[in-house]
Amino acid sequence: MRSEYKLIFERSREGRRAYDLPECDAPDAMNEIPAELKANAPLRLPEIAEIDLVRHYTNLSRRNFGVDNGFYPLGSCTMKYNPKINEELAPLFDNVHPLLDAEMSQGCLALMKDMEDMLCEICGMDAFTLQPAAGAHGELTGLMHIRAYHEHRGDFERKTIIVPDAAHGTNPASAAMAGFKVKEIKSAPDGGVDLDALRAAVGPDTAGLMLTNPSTLGLFERNIKEIAKIVHEAGGLLYYDGANLNAIMGIVRPGDMGFDVMHINLHKTFSTPHGGGGPGSGPVGVKSHLIPFMPVPRIEEDEDGQTYYLNYDKPESIGKIKSFYGNFGVIVKAFCYIRSLGAEGLKEASENAVLNANYVMNKLRGIYEIPHDRTCMHECVVTPGELMQYGVNTSDIAKALIDRGYHPPTIYFPLIVHEAMMIEPTESESRETLDEFVDAMKGIAEQVKTDAAAIHAAPVTTPVGRPDEVTAARKPVVKFED
Ligand SMILES: *Cc1c(COP(=O)(O)O)cnc(C)c1O
């Protein structure tokens, strides 16, 4: 194995050191520790020279793939560039302790209140809470509002949430977690909600419908008004999964489309580096009829309109759903992002996100297959199509992209498209970057036809090529064993 791929333990050689200290002339504190508390063997630490230590960690750091060193078109995840100014500004609030009294935290409260107001304006909702820590957490919170609404009206029979099969996977999971039964409905051939299936699905047990829009197919739902009418007439509420708001900002608003409750992902749409699990923020917006159920505390203005305070006195609230007031640092970054772009800038971001995805989709037409070939939103779904006859699949193409310096797109999702590749270029990429990516995708398609074996061997540029994915996920070996 090339030495740069070796673990630091494999590089260890007895007696090597990366430091050179003078002999200790202080009394040995070890003598004070009772013998039974001492380790009975030396710690197994790698022994390594300074240069090998420096190379080891420098090479490890270069093996990280991130938005800062390459194109990262991971569909549904919005791995867009996060302007560094936001990263610079968030730590300015580091010294504020979350247990400080409201009167000592007026700046933070004002920022959060402003943020709630801006999100109301962007989404067309009447109130927002910033508490939920992620998109899925926002879904759970929103669904708790739906249950509280029905129960408050004495309607205890509404136990079913309808979820189209083009929804994000977290939707049915959150509904189940919130105690609802989940009824899945199939998509129509054009990728939208099948209205007949929806009409057949609603009834006196319907608590609501969760709509991911744009759907995981990257498509805008064409029949939203009709969907809203069907669900509302059946007595249900409408939930909007707005994690992918960067497709519609400044253009349409979920609140205007008839939705009662929604969440957005600050860590996708509004600039926070993510991946690897957090921290995130999934604010939830509601229409006025759901305001009484919102989580406590609410940030409210004093009568004089001068100061903010935290109001816990909300008897119908679903309660607290996150410690303190949410992931404040993420909120600060999102605030900076919105303020620096402004209304026009946000709209332009959405327009460019959609333009970039359509550009990539159109450049790939004829080389890859487009299962729902119509204008897409911020991401597009393609498949290998006829390339599969050469014995390659989506996974092979993803591996080949790694060798060409790209993070692969999301693969095998959405589940309803066979061999899906879900490409989300995001608004921050230039035309040159997109062209280079398209060239790489074309090059792979060519190589599939001339040398499929090479594609099967990819990736050859990484320390590990093709692990057994099930074993790697179920029984990961994350420590050194010799
Ligand atoms: C990312 C995403 C979610 C889940 O958000 P998390 O912050 O990862 O919990 C939900 N819905 C859609 C459409 C998403 O893209």
pLDDT tens-place string over residues 251-261: 999 999 999 99
308-330 pLDDT, tens digit each: 999 999 999 999 999 998 999 99
What letter represents residue 401's amino acid? L
Q: Tell me: pLDDT of 481 over 90.
A: no
pLDDT score, position 351: 98
Q: Residue 464 — very low, low, confident or very high, per pLDDT cuts 50/70/90?
A: confident
Helices (H), 64-129: 84-89, 106-123
Instruction: List domains and CATH numbers for the chain.
Output: 3-63 (no CATH), 84-340 (3.40.640.10), 348-472 (3.90.1150.10)
Q: 308-319 burial by CB neighbour count: b if 16+ within 10 A, else e? A: bbeeeebeebbe
Angle, CA of 212, 259 and 327, to the nearest 5°: 70
Residue nearest ligand 1's atom 6 by CA: 135
What letter represents residue 458's amino acid? A
Q: What residue has token string 């303020």?
A: 339
Q: 228-241 burial by CB neighbour count: b if 16+ within 10 A, else e? A: bebbbebbbbbbbb
For ligand 1, the distance from its centroid to the CA atom of residue 135, given in whole angstroms, is 5
Q: Ligand 1: list residues with CB < 6 Å.
A: 76, 134-136, 168, 170, 212, 241, 243-244, 265, 280, 282
Q: Tell me: pLDDT of 471 over 80.
A: yes
For ligand 1, the distance from its centroid to the CA atom of residue 69, given in whole angstroms, is 24
Cα separation, 17 vs 386, whole angstroms = 57
Which strands, in side-by-side order, build the sheet including 380-382?
380-382, 421-423, 410-411
Q: How many helices and strands in the chain, by DSSP H and E?
A: 14, 12
pLDDT score, position 311: 95
Give the global pTM: 0.91
For ligand 1, the distance from its centroid to the CA atom of residue 170, given in whole angstroms, is 7
The two structure tokens encoding residue 114: 């402003």
Cα separation, 221 vs 475, whole angstroms = 40
For ligand 1, the distance from its centroid to the CA atom of residue 243, given in whole angstroms, is 5
Cα separation, 235 vs 176, whole angstroms = 20
Cα separation, 141 vs 383, whole angstroms = 35
Q: Residue 298 — very low, low, confident or very high, per pLDDT cuts 50/70/90?
A: very high
Q: Residue 286: in which H helix or E strand, if any? A: strand 284-286
Given ligand 1 and candidates 241, 246, 262, which is best to mutate, with the most ligand atoms within 8 Å of its CB? 241
Which strands, in side-by-side order, build the sheet including 284-286?
127-129, 284-286, 261-264, 237-242, 206-212, 160-164, 181-185
Cα separation, 333 vs 342, whole angstroms = 14
Cα separation, 80 vs 12, whole angstroms = 39
For ligand 1, the distance from its centroid to the CA atom of residue 159, given in whole angstroms, is 23
